């Protein structure tokens, strides 16, 4: 086990230990997160499913699902990729493998504690920043800052002249995430109230998605796909267009989440206009990745990591088309607060982002453990459970959202909307449960890879080897 390295000398810790610790942790949190999601969805379809117990009430579990997925699965998968991509791109070693292991350890402990407290009802009552402020401080200073120091120092110690686009994303996004956590939680730390609190809640919520979850996932794809296909990235310059337009435009549209609240009108209009500009980085990203596939499209079928990556990139198209336009007043009035937004949020987190991270975790774990994936068949089962489950969820929630929007503007009594949504709530539960099942298959596959996967010889990549099973 990796715990023995927590007190070892840094030089004695094998490279890749932090990657492996983070990798398996992230898969476990993915199972926890999607399992909670499936449980919650069952409650929305069948309200008397597990009833009358405070700890299993929907209002106690919904936020645990969200934060287990964001801070457990997605962010740990990001940390995992940073632990192996950053040094590889700088042609060097990770600055401190020991710090990486401690970060992973503290992260698991802190998140378990925070989510348990949240589950019991210790909450700040603020969406996405619901963790109580002592836990926020643990996240900032115990988790994000050590992760950032490790990544920044590795970049600084690189033995290459340039900095590849992925590392630009990693370094900048950790910095912006720490700032977002500090500023976004200032209402709790300094007792800021009223509209300031409401606005900062969504300033946090927007930035944690727009400056962390989607750009880092894109940065990962910029590494994984050239590695897998052997093609160089189509254009590093277009990658920089992506990177800089994210920083310039997508750090500003926070108030498009609150178009109905009495915020200053200039702020809402500014946010809506800036929000449409997400199309610039989106087109740059998708075009760059798809053009990188030139001549290697067979890998989309044959190679499971490529399959996950390309699926994630293709899902970025509807994601950004929705994201750019649904936040304008012309469309937002219809779909605000409906299941459409839930579908969109899952398109970003479970669709685009998660598919890219799953590919990176598959790729990185094989690379760092020097073992070939145990079973291609199981990986494909994982893929199909994931994509069919996700699409079921996404489509059913989009339809439910459109029904809800129509009910809202035509003043249909609310209970009729609830009745009309019922079949889609069942579909959402089925879809979520499929994703959950696929993830358990994934964990088994990775566990067997660690134990019985074919050893990868030095200087070779796992995906270059033929499967033996």
Partner 1 sequence: MAFQNYRWGTAGIGGMFGLSMTITLFFPSFDFRSAESTWVGLDKAMSNGRVIGFSYEDPTVTGQGKPLTVILNKDPKTGATIDPPVRAYVYQPGTPFASPLNHPDNLGPTVKRLSIDKGKIDQANKAQGAVFTINHADVNGEEWAYAENASVTRGWTVDAALSTAGDANTKYVGRGKSIYIHEGCWWCHTLLPEHTQDWQVFGTPPYLGDFNGEMPTAFGSDRKAPDILHVASRNSSREWMMMHFFNPRLVQPNSIMPRFDYLWGRVDINGNPIDFSTWRKEYTAYRKGERPYPPEVPEYARNAEIRALIDWVLTSLK
For the chain, what's the residue count? 469
Tokens 């042609």 appear where? 91
Q: Under the criterion CB under 8 A, does residue 247 sit at the interface with partner 1? A: yes
**Shorter beta-carbon distance to partner 1: residue 10 or 123:** 123
* Contact region with partner 1 (CB under 8 A), list: 23-31, 95-103, 118-126, 303-311: 118-126
Site for partner 1 in 410-429 (CB under 8 A): 410-411, 414-415, 418-419, 425
Tokens 């893929």 appear where? 383
Question: How many angstroms separate the CA atoms of 105 and 3, rounded?
Answer: 8
Q: Under the criterion CB under 8 A, does residue 278 sit at the interface with partner 1? A: no
Site for partner 1 in 294-353 (CB under 8 A): 333, 336-339, 341-342
| 395: its two tokens | 């489509």
Strand partners, 455: 371
> CA 132: distance to chain centroid?
22
Least distance in angstroms from the C-beta of 196 to partner 1 = 5
* Contact region with partner 1 (CB under 8 A), list: 17-25, 241-249, 358-366, 450-458: 241-249
| 244 Cβ neighbours under 8 A, 6+ residues apart | none
Sign of the alpha-carbon dihedral angle for 198, 200, 201, 203 = positive
| 54: its two tokens | 């405070």
| 467: its two tokens | 């499967």
Task: Return the DSSP state at 353.
Answer: I
Q: Under the criterion CB under 8 A, does residue 109 sit at the interface with partner 1? A: no
Q: Under the criterion CB under 8 A, does residue 280 sit at the interface with partner 1? A: no
| 124 Cβ neighbours under 8 A, 6+ residues apart | 130, 131, 132, 133, 188
Q: Cβ distance 167 to 90 under 8 Å?
A: yes
- Measuring CA to CA, which residue among 151, 198, 153 is closest to residue 177? 151
Question: How many angstroms separate the CA atoms of 208 and 376, rounded?
Answer: 34
Question: How many angstroms separate the CA atoms of 111 and 145, rounded?
Answer: 15
Q: Under the criterion CB under 8 A, does residue 241 sit at the interface with partner 1? A: no
Task: Return the DSSP state at 297.
Answer: T
Strand partners, 371: 455
Strand boundaries in 242-336, DSSP class E: none
| 86 Cβ neighbours under 8 A, 6+ residues apart | 94, 151, 154, 155, 167, 170
Q: Under the criterion CB under 8 A, does residue 11 sit at the interface with partner 1? A: no
Question: How many angstroms separate the CA atoms of 330 and 273, rounded?
Answer: 12
**Shorter beta-carbon distance to partner 1: residue 339 or 438:** 339
| Backbone φ and ψ of 458, nearest 5° | -60, 140
Least distance in angstroms from the C-beta of 131 to partner 1 = 9
Q: Under the criterion CB under 8 A, does residue 162 sit at the interface with partner 1? A: yes
**Shorter beta-carbon distance to partner 1: residue 152 or 300:** 152
Applying CB under 8 A, among 124, 327, 375, 398 the residue interacting with partner 1 is: 124
**Shorter beta-carbon distance to partner 1: residue 109 or 248:** 248
How many residues touch partner 1 under the rule CB under 8 A: the total is 80
- Measuring CA to CA, which residue among 325, 70, 326 is closest to residue 208? 70
Applying CB under 8 A, among 2, 8, 58, 276 the residue interacting with partner 1 is: 58
Least distance in angstroms from the C-beta of 343 to partner 1 = 11
Site for partner 1 in 18-47 (CB under 8 A): 43-44, 47
- Measuring CA to CA, which residue among 356, 368, 383 is closest to residue 445? 383
Least distance in angstroms from the C-beta of 125 to partner 1 = 4
Site for partner 1 in 356-375 (CB under 8 A): none
Applying CB under 8 A, among 109, 116, 121, 141 the residue interacting with partner 1 is: 121
Q: Under the criterion CB under 8 A, does residue 176 sit at the interface with partner 1? A: yes
Applying CB under 8 A, among 144, 165, 198, 434 the residue interacting with partner 1 is: 198
Q: Under the criterion CB under 8 A, does residue 151 sit at the interface with partner 1? A: no
Applying CB under 8 A, among 122, 325, 444, 461 the residue interacting with partner 1 is: 122
**Shorter beta-carbon distance to partner 1: residue 157 or 260:** 260
Q: Under the criterion CB under 8 A, does residue 91 sit at the interface with partner 1? A: no
Least distance in angstroms from the C-beta of 418 to partner 1 = 6
Question: How many angstroms separate the CA atoms of 35 and 85, rounded?
Answer: 29
Q: Under the criterion CB under 8 A, does residue 462 sit at the interface with partner 1? A: no
Using CB atoms within 10 Å of the CB of residue 350, give its burial: 0 to 12 exposed, 13 to 18 middle, 19+ buried.
buried
Question: How many angstroms separate the CA atoms of 307 and 364, rounded?
Answer: 15
**Shorter beta-carbon distance to partner 1: residue 44 or 83:** 44
**Shorter beta-carbon distance to partner 1: residue 21 or 203:** 203
Applying CB under 8 A, among 111, 217, 225, 254 the residue interacting with partner 1 is: 254
**Shorter beta-carbon distance to partner 1: residue 276 or 441:** 276
**Shorter beta-carbon distance to partner 1: residue 270 or 461:** 270
* Contact region with partner 1 (CB under 8 A), list: 108-116, 190-198, 381-389, 429-437: 190-198
Q: Under the criterion CB under 8 A, does residue 153 sit at the interface with partner 1? A: no
Site for partner 1 in 376-395 (CB under 8 A): none
């Amino acid at each position: 086990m990796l715990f023995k390295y927590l007190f070892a000398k840094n030089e004695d810790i094998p490279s890749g230990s932090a990657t492996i610790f983070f990798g398996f942790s992230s898969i476990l949190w993915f199972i926890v997160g999607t399992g909670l999601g499936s449980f919650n969805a069952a409650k929305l379809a069948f309200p008397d499913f597990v009833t009358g117990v405070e700890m299993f009430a929907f209002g106690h579990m919904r936020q645990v699902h969200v934060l287990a997925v964001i801070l457990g699965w997605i962010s740990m998968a990001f940390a995992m990729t940073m632990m192996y991509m950053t040094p590889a791109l700088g042609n060097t070693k990770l600055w401190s493998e020991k710090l990486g292991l401690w970060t992973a350890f503290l992260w698991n402990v802190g998140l378990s504690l925070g989510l348990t407290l949240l589950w019991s009802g210790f909450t700040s009552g603020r969406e996405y920043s619901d963790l109580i402020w002592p836990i926020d401080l643990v996240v900032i200073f115990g988790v994000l800052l050590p992760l950032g120091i490790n990544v920044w120092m590795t970049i600084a110690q690189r033995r290459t002249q340039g900095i590849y686009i992925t590392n630009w994303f990693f370094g900048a996004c950790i910095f912006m995430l720490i700032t977002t956590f500090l500023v976004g939680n200032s209402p709790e730390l300094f007792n800021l109230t009223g509209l300031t609190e409401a606005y900062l809640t969504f300033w946090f919520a927007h930035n944690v998605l727009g400056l962390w979850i989607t750009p880092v996932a894109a940065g990962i794809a910029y590494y994984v796909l050239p590695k897998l296909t052997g093609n160089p990235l189509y254009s590093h310059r277009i990658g920089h267009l992506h990177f800089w337009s994210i920083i310039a435009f997508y750090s500003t549209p926070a108030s498009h989440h609150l178009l109905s609240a009495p915020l200053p009108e200039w702020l809402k209009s500014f946010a809506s206009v800036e929000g449409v500009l997400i199309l610039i980085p989106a087109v740059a990203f998708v075009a760059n990745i798809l053009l990188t596939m030139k001549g290697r499209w067979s890998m989309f079928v044959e190679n499971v990591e490529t399959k996950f990556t390309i699926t994630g990139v293709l899902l970025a198209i509807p994601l950004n088309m929705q994201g750019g336009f649904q936040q304008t007043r012309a469309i937002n009035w219809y779909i605000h607060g409906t299941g459409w937004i839930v579908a969109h949020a899952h398109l970003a987190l479970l669709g685009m982002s998660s598919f890219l991270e799953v590919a990176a975790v598959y790729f990185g774990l094989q690379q760092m453990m020097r073992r070939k994936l145990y079973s291609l068949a199981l990986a494909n089962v994982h893929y199909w459970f994931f994509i069919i489950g996700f699409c079921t969820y996404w489509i059913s929630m989009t339809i439910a959202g459109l029904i809800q929007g129509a009910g809202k503007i035509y003043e249909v009594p609310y209970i009729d909307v609830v009745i009309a949504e019922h079949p889609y709530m069942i579909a959402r539960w089925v879809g979520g449960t499929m994703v959950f099942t696929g993830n358990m298959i994934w964990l088994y596959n990775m566990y067997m890879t660690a134990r019985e996967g074919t050893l990868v010889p030095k200087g070779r990549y796992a995906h270059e080897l033929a499967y033996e099973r």
